[in-house]
Structure 1
Amino acid sequence: MQLESAAKMIAEASSIAVLTGAGVSTASGIPDFRSTTGLWTADETREYYISNHYFHTDPVDFWQKYKAIFRVKLLKDYGPNHVHRYLKELENSGKEVVVITQNVDGLHTLAGNDHVIEYHGTLNSASCPNCGKSFDLPYLLQSETPVCDSCEHVLKPDVVLFGDPITEHDRAEQVIQQSDLVLVLGTSLLVSPFNILPEYAHSLGKPSILINWEPTVMDELFQVVIHDDLSKIVQQLKK
């Protein structure tokens, strides 16, 4: 049985690279923008608005769109769910766990995981493109268009916008290289270059598990594939 195989592989691994997507955060009430019924599909212009180009074209309107699309004001209402806590429990049991997440909500860090690579950045802060000063979420919520309190430039979110470079890919590959097991949770593996990571793991012959509600185009790369509710499967793995 796939579940038993997954449980055995996790139990035997001492270092685990965990790749997570939106399916991990949905149990916390955060919508999945990229699932087939997700909000992202409702309006294709979102990609245009949440881009580096649009930020530089109209930073004031950018911030309005950005806050609405990502429900930034609600971030403080969200908390880690039992999938996040399960990964922390694996860490507490003595395993080396590194989470490489597509999610920008910061919940893995909030759950207490010590090693989190935020592949697409974070909603919880922004930086001044002029002087580099960083600002936290409460500061960003104080005004419609947050500006630097030192040099008065409009702040840029610490999320990787469309058109921004991905800076964490090499570090993510290093983590996979050093791991005994690659565990992929709640992602459709449609977004590039994140979806190169499972291919890289496969090329190295790493044992791997995929748990996702829907089939993905990369299912064949994994030794164990489970299509089911992630929250339910995690509860079963804990047992």
Structure 2
Amino acid sequence: MTEQEALAIQFIQQAKHLVFMTGAGVSVPSGIPDYRSLDGVYAGFEAPEYLLSHTCLKREPEKFYQFVKNLYHPEAQPNVIHQVMAELERTKEVAVITQNIDSLHQQAGQKNLIEFHGSLYHVYCQQCGKSVPVTSYLDDDFHEGCGGPLRPDVVLYEEGLDENNVQHAIRQVMQADTIVVVGTSLRVYPFAGLLDYRSPDAKVILVNKEATQVSRDTLTVLGDATKFFEKIKKSEKK
């Protein structure tokens, strides 16, 4: 175990109000590709941002539907990162703020969870407003009940974030004494901007494959996040 890993685990164990901020790198070990890597979701598409935009949904709903179905991985299961976060919630005050829309944190049993960009697994009819099972959406993008178009409850390009989610996330970050950022390069705003609300005394730990620039001093753990979380799991059992 490196010095950085040991110190990070110590901070996590001593934390009274622990906040995790997670990105696509957390779900990659579960078999869900990220967005911008060479073999990611966006690979091979000329204008992926357009395909995930409000404009595409309204003007070319069939094109939107065909693309968004690529984001679903119903076979994916929570990995050790999701599991450890959920386990820590049983013994201390923990919140998870995630950019991910795959609902794996929820599957792992996380209670205090803010899905900052929504979830692919919450689907509703744009005409009557009723929720429908995701399996229905994957079969057909029209509501069997009223015939209206269905959509997943995710924040698309050109759409605003849920203000309740934003305010809840800000409150959690303000209250945190320790913040652990995992699997994200912190390039997407306003998610990355949440760190601006942290207490000056809060410890910030970055767990990522590559270094991430933030404005204040942080403790950085470089490498495979799953291996680091395995070490947290072992330390919790001692």
Same fold, judged at TM 0.5 (above)? yes
Q: What amino acid is aligned across from residue 180 of structure 1 in structure 2?
A: D
Please give the secondary structure, in 2, of the residue aligned with 1:221.
Answer: coil
CA 222–87 in structure 1, closer or farther in 2 if over 3 Å, else same: farther
Matched, 1:127 2:124: yes
Q: What amino acid is aligned across from residue 216 of structure 1 in structure 2?
A: T
CA 123–54 in structure 1, closer or farther in 2 if over 3 Å, else same: same
Please give the secondary structure, in 2, of the residue aligned with 1:114.
Answer: coil
How many residues are matched? Answer: 230
The one of 136, 139, 143 equivalent to 1:142 is 139
**Alignment TM-score, normalising by the size of structure 2:** 0.90
For residue 207 of structure 1, report the CA deviation from its aligned partner: 1.4
> Runs of 4+ in structure 1 displaced over 4 angstroms?
none
Contact 1:35–1:188 (CA under 8 A) maintained in structure 2: no
Q: What amino acid is aligned across from residue 59 of structure 1 in structure 2?
A: P
Task: Output the CA distance in 1 between the equivalents of 2:24 and 2:173.
Answer: 20
Contact 2:33–2:39 (CA under 8 A) maintained in structure 1: no
Contact 2:117–2:161 (CA under 8 A) maintained in structure 1: yes
Matched, 1:166 2:161: yes
Q: What residue ranges of structure 2 are gaps of 5+ in the alignment?
A: none
5 Å-filtered alignment, 1:178-217, equals 178-201=175-198, 204-217=200-213
Q: What residue ranges of structure 1 are gaps of 5+ in the alignment?
A: none
Contact 1:22–1:102 (CA under 8 A) maintained in structure 2: yes
Task: Output the CA distance in 2 between the equivalents of 1:121 and 1:31.
Answer: 18
Task: Output the CA distance in 1 between the equivalents of 2:58 and 2:157.
Answer: 12
Please give the secondary structure, in 2, of the residue aligned with 1:141.
Answer: helix
Task: Output the CA distance in 1 between the equivalents of 2:29 and 2:118.
Answer: 21
Matched, 1:112 2:114: no
Correspondence for 2:228: 233
Task: Output the CA distance in 2 between the equivalents of 1:177 and 1:45.
Answer: 37
The one of 75, 78, 81 equivalent to 1:77 is 75
Of the structure 1 ranges 79-88 and 34-43, higher mean CA displacement relative to structure 2 is found in 34-43
Task: Output the CA distance in 2 between the equivalents of 1:41 and 1:67.
Answer: 15
Q: What amino acid is aligned across from residue 24 of structure 1 in structure 2?
A: V
For residue 179 of structure 1, report the CA deviation from its aligned partner: 1.9
Q: What amino acid is aligned across from residue 46 of structure 1 in structure 2?
A: P
Task: Output the CA distance in 2 between the equivalents of 1:76 and 1:37.
Answer: 19
CA 65–38 in structure 1, closer or farther in 2 if over 3 Å, else same: closer
Contact 1:84–1:111 (CA under 8 A) maintained in structure 2: yes
Q: What amino acid is aligned across from residue 62 of structure 1 in structure 2?
A: F
Q: What fraction of aligned residue pairs are identical, expressed as a percent?
A: 37
